[in-house]
Structure formats: C-alpha cells, structure tokens
Structure 1
C-alpha cells in the first residue's frame, strides 16, 4: 500500500509552505465555525481545503513552485518583523536602531547615554541615546 502511494505521488507537487499555511487557516476557520456556525466561513474553509488538495496532487510542479515563491516573497517582510521582535525580546542588553541614511539595522549596547554611531554599511555618523 505504501509503495502504491509513493508511486502515485511521483511527479506530483506535494506539500510546501503555502499549503501548510493554508491548512492552518482551514483549521482555524473550522474552529471558528464551531463557535459561530456560519455557512460562509464553512464554505470558505472548504474552498481553501479543496485548493490545498489540488495543489498537493498537481502535476504542474513549475506553476506550484512559482505560486509558492510569490507567497514567500509576500510574507518575507512579516517574517523579518517577527524575527526582529523575537531577537529584541531575547537580547535585553542591547537596543536596535535603523541608520537614517541606508536603513541598516544597528545594534547598540544599552546604558551608554548619548553616543555617536557609525553605520557599518554606509559609514554615516549619527547620534543616538541608549
């Protein structure tokens, strides 16, 4: 049985990040529907679920790959924002500022008062209070 499934899945796209996030959205919609019992939410959940299954069993791997790449580039700023927030929470001894010239993120030690910072990428000097 396992060999037949492996043979069936050969040449098919399978699971990627877009499918994983869409499945998470489907589960969230179904849980919301348990509490509010709304047909529109249920239909929307089934529609997304159908799209996930279609993408998973699709033989047009190049198109599915392009869809996933577009999705990844769209969510990259959101992921970077949350990764930076996570880093800021774990690194309490430093403060993070952006260079006003090139927008590069600069990490400065806390408790030093007013300091003149030199950006490591563009060498622009600016004053910040830490």
Structure 2
C-alpha cells in the first residue's frame, strides 16, 4: 500500500452505503440496486488503491465539510450521554458548548470564549 491513498472517512461512508444497498437489493430482490451497490464498491476499491492522493484528499475534505456538522453533533451527544459527572450548556451569546460539574446547585456559568455570564442549575 506504499504510495496508495488508503481508507478515509468518505471511504467508510461509501462502504456503509454499499452494505445498505446490497442488503436492500438482496432482501427485496431488486437486481438494479445490487448493481448500484457493486458500482459503489468498485469506486471504494478505486479510491483505496489510488495514487492521486491530492485528489482523494480533496474529495474527503468536501465530504467532511458536508457531513462534519452531523458527525460532530453525534459525537457531542455520545459524550454527553457517557459523561455522568458534568452538565453541558450552550452559551446564549456565542453558542459555545460549556461543561460544568453536576450537583453544585444554581451556579453562574461564564463563557470562556466571549465572557458572557448566565445562571444555570447544575
């Protein structure tokens, strides 16, 4: 694989699309959907072994610009769900996510990025 592009986030997304299309085509007996899934799989293999690294990186950057906000939202939700010791607030002024310890009662939260203060129950 020396000199080849390899796997990135866009490739992983395409693999998931391939699996969904292939399973849907197989279960519903839709041959056209299976062929589309095969085309997606061929494109994934092409990206994997490509030597045009700058072009593949540009494709991945474009994908991350489109899918990045959704990915960050899901990661934040997972972090909030796993973190039982803190509460998360959004600054009403700038929208920055703020983390404060739980169980401290009513506290004044100060945003580090804009300096706005507001009261919240922790």
Q: TM-score, normalised by structure 1?
A: 0.78
The CA deviation string for residues 25-73 of structure 1, in whole angstroms up to 9 with x for no partner, is: 2122212222211233212212211222222333322211110121123
Q: Determine which of 91, 96, 100 is the counterpart of 2:92.
A: 100
State how far apart, in whole Å, the 1-side matches of 2:48 and 2:86 are: 44
Match of 1:88 in 2: 80
Give the one of 34, 41, 48 matched to 1:56. 48
The correspondence of residues 109-124 of structure 1 with structure 2, limited to 5 A, is 109-124=101-116
Question: Deviation of residue 11 (structure 1)?
Answer: 4.2
Partner of 2:25: 33
User: In 1, Cα distance between the equivalents of 2:16 and 2:101?
Assistant: 39
Q: State TM-score, norm by structure 2.
A: 0.82
Please identify runs of 4+ aligned residues in structure 1 that moved more than 4 A. Answer: none
Runs of 5+ consecutive residues of structure 1 not aligned to the other structure: 1-8
Give CA deviations for 1:82-105 in whole Å, capped at 9, x if unaligned. Answer: 221121112123211111111111
Residue number in structure 1 paired with 2:117: 125
Number of residues of Structure 1 aligned to a counterpart in Structure 2:
122
Tell me which structure has the larger Cα radius of gyration.
Answer: 1
